Amino acid sequence: MFMKTRVITLSSILMMALSGARAQTTVTVTPVQGQTNQWQLTMPAGNVQLNVNYKTPTTLTLTYGGAAITAGGVNTYLGDEALFLDSLAAVVTDNSSQAVASPTFTVTSSNPSVVAFGTEGTASGALADIRFLATGTATLTILFDGTDDYATSTATLALTVGEHTYTVTIDDGGIDTAHWAISPATAVTTGVTAGTQVQATYSGTRKVKSVRAVKKGPAVTTLDNNTTAWTAGTFAVPAGGLTYSDAITVSGDVTLTLTDGETLTLNSGLSLASGATLTVEGTGTMNVNGTNGADNNSNDMEASGGSGTAAISGSGTLVLTSGTVTAIGGKGGNVSDYGVECKGGHGAAAISCTLTVNGGTLTATGGNGGSLTNGFGPEGVAGNGGAGISGALTVNGGTLTATGGNRGAKSSGPGASDGNIGRGVSSTWTAGTGITFSDSANGTSWTANTGTSSTQRYVKAE
């Protein structure tokens, strides 16, 4: 029996599925000359979705010294124009760990054909765009010129520029998938670069009516109450929203899409593992609550209330690009006891991990300290309020409001004392271009803060 072999050549579009989805048309979007952050397009006869990508801020922590200092390596991809040095002056320290307010520096590329700064090979100042022009490697050298009473010093940043790869999958409804073959085989396994010619060959006995190629987005997992461990991938909030009573753990690079009009509520907090990055996007809402410390009514000497836990914690990084997020730290437990030297539990920070805000709206409120509620009890100490944010903070866009938790109240016993009010931000921050930090003691009268920290209860950035 003679069997025909049909060979279909697919080019231009990668990450394809064989299905009947409608092809998309590209609409040209151009920057408006003379304007900042403004683009224009001619409306076609159809609905248009604007896909926006943001630059990624890269902080280099350098130390002045007599020898060159390696700042680390970065892997990136051809075509990305997403890396830039931002507020370098704010993170440079001398050998005494004292921040250098505004050191003068110059950045050069060892291979401008691979990595360059716009159309030039050198950039000076506190902000430098880095463009990736070809695959290969390049080393950026940051030279501090010895002004500001500091010695001349250099640091280097190694960049490896590669190309994104994409894969092809077959979707024929499971009817005869085994008789389809993709060439080259790497288009199915490790992926191929854009522009590679890919062939799909059918060797079965059925007659193929049509084949269409559709560019696919990343696979998305819709959350449910059984999904409490979020590992590398993309997750979305289901229709109708979702509430978790169990704690959530995050590992790897995770993207969370807040579905428009829906609310995700985490009532036992969220923890980021070491090296994990949680990027929150979308237009929906997420509420995260830490757990409260236990009250103590034991009437024991030196009784203590339990401390709260942070709403978002861990050694990973939280990145907010859009959406509305509210985080509230757990409150400290109260003590109802006539014992001596009783202690109220401390309130927890709302967010105690590394935090970057590139867009959206974030409200972080520390947990209240536990009070001494017995009415007497000598030498007792009420609990402290938690910070709104206690991890390294960078704000490049969006709106941030951070409030420290209220202090616990003392008893009327001799020598008893109130707790301390929490700070809005107890760590240092980095303000991106155009971002202004302000702080306030009462949440009403605000003062611009051009520094990198605050002792006030209320802090905002916008």
Q: Which residues of the chain have pLDDT under 70?
A: 1-27, 34-37, 48-49, 51-107, 116-132, 140, 142-159, 161, 216-218, 337-339, 375-378
Pairing of strands 437-440, 458-461: antiparallel
pLDDT of the residue at 82:
40
Domain chopping of the chain, boundaries? 1-24+49-217, 218-462
Long-range contacts of 273-277 (CB under 8 A, 24+ apart): 273/249, 273/314, 273/315, 273/316, 274/314, 274/315, 274/316, 275/251, 275/315, 275/316, 276/250, 276/251, 276/252, 276/314, 276/316, 276/317, 277/252, 277/253, 277/316, 277/317, 277/318, 277/319
pLDDT of the residue at 25:
57
Q: Given this structure, which CATH class describes domain 1-24+49-217?
A: mainly beta
pLDDT of the residue at 193:
79
pLDDT of the residue at 142:
65
pLDDT of the residue at 57:
44
- Give the tens place of pLDDT for each residue, 80-101: 444 444 333 334 444 444 444 4
- In angstroms, how far is the first alpha carbon of the chain from the final one? 73
CA–chain centroid gap for 327, Å, is: 15
Q: Which of 415, 410, 407 has its CA nearest to residue 457?
A: 407
- Is residue 47 within 8 Å of 73, Cβ to Cβ? no
pLDDT of the residue at 91:
41
Q: Which of 237, 218, 217 has its CA nearest to residue 227?
A: 237
pTM of the model: 0.60
pLDDT of the residue at 104:
57
- Is residue 326 within 8 Å of 284, Cβ to Cβ? no
Q: What is the DSSP letter of 305?
A: P
For residue 260, the one-letter residue type is: D
Q: What is the DSSP letter of 414?
A: T
Residue with tokens 């998309």: 24
